[in-house]
Structure 1
């Protein structure tokens, strides 16, 4: 490899390594803050955080081991700069698994929320099922890519996995767009006449859009650069930081719950839907004399939305369809289990 070609290849490789290291460090900080701020979270949430942390730690460790083999070996044998070593493929596997973990997190939360707000079983399962199929397709294409690249002897052969790489990146973009649109649509449908509620929903819509833009941009840039600039590593800019974006977006969603909740908790008779969804108690939850009800958040049930019930408020967006009035004890029947949010 001529020295003039090092900038668009190994120069970009190192830049992407610095970027992913920064995001990985930010992710570890968020993991620390999560366990410090939310020690009583449901076990399923904690296991999800542990899983994505382990996957990211393995991914970056293997990536840097491969970097060492290339750059240090390249001082003795320049051909090693072109060679493909096993860490070059295996680190992709952990990257894809980490990204899928975060995507499943948001998908399951969409499912749990629609279980409370949508009465039709078909409508309730349709979007989450579609997202799940795309996630499986994304993961399958990624695994196929990893298996094939394990047999490569040189980076020159990367062009032979163009179809699998394009499919993996395209489905990743589709998943992010679909998740974001689902969150925004669900939130907008829950807007009503209460200014405080609408203000909170607007904030959550912004959070959802920002999350989707960042993760989709990484996958899209990976796809575009891989196809537009072959023979270089420019696509690493989007590829190597993608799973770190997912990790940070997932943890940011978890860690901002208290901040948003404090903005919404201003009355008595507050019902914490995060607690309801994270319990294995009876399906029926009785509500005492209600002045303020907190409706479940779209993708983060621990972030609560106030809905003031002065004389009566028809919760037509909830599956229960109960009319709430001061002094009543309606029955609301959330599904058993816990949403990982």
Structure 2
């Protein structure tokens, strides 16, 4: 008795359709990576050599990750066109993609662990915990990729899905720890100076958004892999995890000059106008407007040198981590 015919329309969209969409979204995010990498080297060529090597490594790994995604699409849709049996095989390029993704995660989370260490005043407990979680993520990811390629059949790889779930869970835990500790330490750096406090508020938003994007992508991957068994929809958020890591790091590095030159702002109630601190380290100018007998009077005051120095020190601590404080 011959086997029942396969409903191609029911098989292709949740497998190859998902893989193709993941390539499209990954390509869009890679374009953002290229732009941010160019902006970094164009605006921060004075950074230390190790920081430039770090950014170059992220770009190379992100490029290689996209190449593996493109190759997997080629393998399924071109090399094995009309070969439905190929859907039961996982090509080696997808295993290599896992390696590139977790390698990017190691670099980025180590970078943010260093940032936690720097911002906390060189305390080791939390950064070491983050590094341990990152290494656990990497080890579990390598185990999943290597074991899966020993017998690259979908049914066999499904038996070790626990490894990728555990790896993503460790990654999420590290992201939550990075976000929570950075928000806490940034909040502690509030000095009461308007410019500094405004800057710290922006940095907190950056930090929360960074951890939020990667955590949501990892959580969606876990949920889809457990609820839509036998499909490939989970690869869409998973392929974006590395893109979010790279772009959040580059955005943090590229925002330094903009944040450093951020004006303190000015009030709109007519009582006070505050100008930003001069880039050369000069004093902050304050213009106070007061009404006396229905006549407006202006009074110009200058912030003390101590206040300006304190403001600069806090900015160096919270923004620029490319050199020792």
Q: Where does structure 2 lack aligned partners over 5 or more consecutive residues? A: 1-5, 264-275, 283-304
Contact 1:93–1:142, Cα closer than 8 Å, also in 2: yes
Matched, 1:292 2:308: yes
> Of 39, 42, 47, which aligns to 1:33?
39
Q: Mark the structure with the bigger radius of gyration.
A: 2
1:155: which partner in 2?
154
1:106: which partner in 2?
112
> Of 69, 91, 94, which aligns to 2:100?
94
The structural deviation recorded for 1:38 is 0.8
Which region of structure 1 is more displaced relative to structure 2, 60-69 or 34-43? 60-69
RMSD: 2.2
Q: Where does structure 1 lack aligned partners over 5 or more consecutive residues? A: 117-123, 272-288, 304-336
Equivalent position SS for 2:81: helix
Equivalent position SS for 2:262: helix
2:7: which partner in 1?
2
The equivalences for 1:298-309 within 5 A come to 301-302=319-320
1:211: which partner in 2?
210
Matched, 1:266 2:277: yes
The CA deviation string for residues 121-152 of structure 1, in whole angstroms up to 9 with x for no partner, is xxx11110111110011111111011111113
**Are the structure 2 counterparts of residues 52 and 192 from structure 1 closer, same or farther at C-alpha, using a change threshold of 3 Å?**
same
Contact 1:110–1:128, Cα closer than 8 Å, also in 2: yes
Distance 2:204 2:164 in 1: 31
Count, aligned residues: 282
The equivalences for 1:97-176 within 5 A come to 97-115=103-121, 124-176=123-175
**Are the structure 2 counterparts of residues 9 and 105 from structure 1 closer, same or farther at C-alpha, using a change threshold of 3 Å?**
same
2:75: which partner in 1?
69
Matched, 1:24 2:30: yes
- TM-score between the two structures when normalised by the length of structure 1: 0.77
Contact 1:71–1:81, Cα closer than 8 Å, also in 2: no
The structural deviation recorded for 1:338 is 4.1
The structural deviation recorded for 1:17 is 1.0
